[in-house]
Amino acid sequence: MSPEEKDRKIERLEQENEALREKIAELERRLGLDSHNSSKPPSSDGLKKKATIIRTKSLREKGKRPSGGQLGHPGQTLEAVLQPDNVVEHPTPCLCSSCGCDVSQIEVEKIIKRQVFDIPCPRIIVTEHKVAVKECPKCKVHIQGSFPESVKAPVQYGARIKAVAAYLHHQHFIPEDRLSEVLLDLFGCRITPGTIANITKALTKIIEPVITEIVTEVKASPVKHLDETGLRIGGQTCWLHVVSSETLSWYRVASRRKDIEVLADIKGVVVHDHWNPYYQLLDVNHALCNAHHLRELKALEEIEQESWAKSMKKVLLLACNYKHRYPKGIPQNIVARLSQLYEKILKRGQDYHEFQIPLTRKGNRGRVKRRVGHNKLIAVSKLQAGCFTVSHRTGCSIY
């Protein structure tokens, strides 16, 4: 083998070695991502959850106040009521347990009360409705009374048991088969899964006016949060979109992720996770969710060991604290200081990535691939720092 061939082989091996190192680094980064440093849900953490690590490395910074309930916190304690539903009097012994003296005629000195809170024995109550039928003696027409509007079948379930079934099914996500067993065990009433499904269909029509009202109020809310996640319905991939304000949440299911046409008339501030289609919404102020920022910066801090990410995380948390301290507006001198720190950290991050060895290019066309931290740095560099706002539901930065 000639020296030229050896040099070419060494150069090729070095390129392969560098590509393998990048691949290993990318795989190690994927393995290091979980629910506390990315947007992955906790269910994706698997059985080997790093419970201790996650608990000690929470996004919440250590505060000065002790853990537990704070001074002045009202708390929730079971307290006695003035008018109990039932009163049970227990007899007092007639003879003294010490000397045997008769105390049956002695006046009561005081009454000690103890109250027990419980629920009544759950059971199904069957109400029978009757109407009489009469025949007119002249024209022989049958005349009868009228049943209530809600009573439409010879045998049916009442509104209360339907409400319980709908509540447990949709609010607490108990599957229809299991819910059928729950109702049987609690009330002795076997409602089939098919009937539970029909209850859901009927409920859908009933709450349509309420949903319309929620949609109107959420869209008009000064600040609202937008998000979406995938789910499977009938074996098909669909998307669950949510728009939520401080007090209301509007959920809707769509067959595709980019289904934001219904949000065309939305106003105010929209908080989201930097998903590009949301920027197509007009006449709104965009706010980026700091909860997402903090998780991504935490991954850069722990996995990539990029120190600028830790500093940026502290600045965002500091801005959030100032916002809570000054609800009517952060003083301008503090805003200026936050902006100065923001720009300084960006410069530090840019200097860090300028001195990194460039990643290998895949093919001969296109730009050179950038590291995850570099991409994140460029994304936040495009934003104008200085205006920090925190929503009531989640910290966010408005740019």
Same domain, 231 and 309: no
| pLDDT at 180 > cutoff 90 | yes
Distance, CA of 394 to CA of 391 (rounded, Å): 6
Q: Which residue has the higher pLDDT, 240 or 398?
A: 240
Type and span of the H or E element at 181: helix 176-187
| pLDDT at 398 > cutoff 50 | no
| pLDDT at 97 > cutoff 50 | yes
What is the per-residue pLDDT across 193-211, written as a single tens digit (0 to 9) for each? 999 999 999 999 999 999 9
What is the per-residue pLDDT across 211-242, written as a single tens digit (0 to 9) for each? 999 999 999 999 999 999 998 888 899 999 99
Provide the domain count of the chain: 2
Residue of 337, 342, 333 lying closest to 380 (CA atoms): 342
Q: Tally the residues of the chain.
A: 399
Res 283: pLDDT: 87
Res 197: pLDDT: 94
Same domain, 287 and 392: yes
DSSP 8-state symbol, 44:
G
- Residue 185 domain-assigned (yes or no): no
Domain that holds residue 225: 216-269
| pLDDT at 387 > cutoff 50 | no
Distances from the Cα of 264 to the Cα of 62, 124, 219, 223, 399, angstroms: 41, 48, 10, 16, 21
- Residue 105 domain-assigned (yes or no): no
- Residue 191 domain-assigned (yes or no): no
| pLDDT at 399 > cutoff 60 | no
| pLDDT at 396 > cutoff 70 | no
Contact 226, 391 (CB under 8 A): no
Q: pLDDT band at residue 302, thresholds of 50, 70 and 90?
A: confident
Last residue of a domain, one of 269, 294, 310: 269
- Residue 180 domain-assigned (yes or no): no
Q: State the average pLDDT over residues 76-90.
A: 90
Same domain, 264 and 324: no
Q: State the average pLDDT over residues 19-24.
A: 80
For the ranges 18-22, 66-70, 387-391, the lowest mean pLDDT is seen at 387-391
Same domain, 287 and 247: no
- Residue 222 domain-assigned (yes or no): yes
Res 199: pLDDT: 95
Same domain, 287 and 352: yes
Same domain, 288 and 264: no
**To the nearest whole number, what is the mean pLDDT of the chain?**
84
What is the per-residue pLDDT across 313-358, written as a single tens digit (0 to 9) for each? 899 889 888 988 998 888 999 989 998 999 999 999 989 888 887 7
- Residue 138 domain-assigned (yes or no): no
Same domain, 238 and 329: no
Res 353: pLDDT: 87
Same domain, 296 and 243: no
For the ranges 138-142, 208-212, 232-236, 393-397, the lowest mean pLDDT is seen at 393-397
- Residue 100 domain-assigned (yes or no): no
CA dihedral 271, 273, 279, 283 (to 10 degrees): 0
Last residue of a domain, one of 269, 300, 331: 269
User: How many other CB atoms are there within 10 angstroms of residue 240's CB atom?
Assistant: 14
Same domain, 299 and 242: no
Same domain, 265 and 296: no
Same domain, 259 and 298: no
| pLDDT at 144 > cutoff 70 | yes
What is the per-residue pLDDT across 98-117, written as a single tens digit (0 to 9) for each? 888 998 888 888 999 999 99
For the ranges 9-18, 111-120, 185-194, 291-300, the lowest mean pLDDT is seen at 9-18
Res 364: pLDDT: 66
| pLDDT at 49 > cutoff 70 | no
The DSSP line for 208-253 is: HHHHHHHHHHHHHSSEEEEEEEEEEETTEEEEEEEEE-SS-EEEEE
Using N-to-C axis directions, what is the helix angle for 290-302 and 372-381, rounded to 10°? 140
Contact 238, 254 (CB under 8 A): yes
Res 151: pLDDT: 93
For the ranges 12-21, 251-260, 346-355, the lowest mean pLDDT is seen at 12-21
What is the per-residue pLDDT across 273-297, written as a single tens digit (0 to 9) for each? 888 899 899 889 988 888 888 888 8
Percent of the chain with pLDDT strictly greater than 90: 42
- Residue 157 domain-assigned (yes or no): no
Same domain, 222 and 302: no
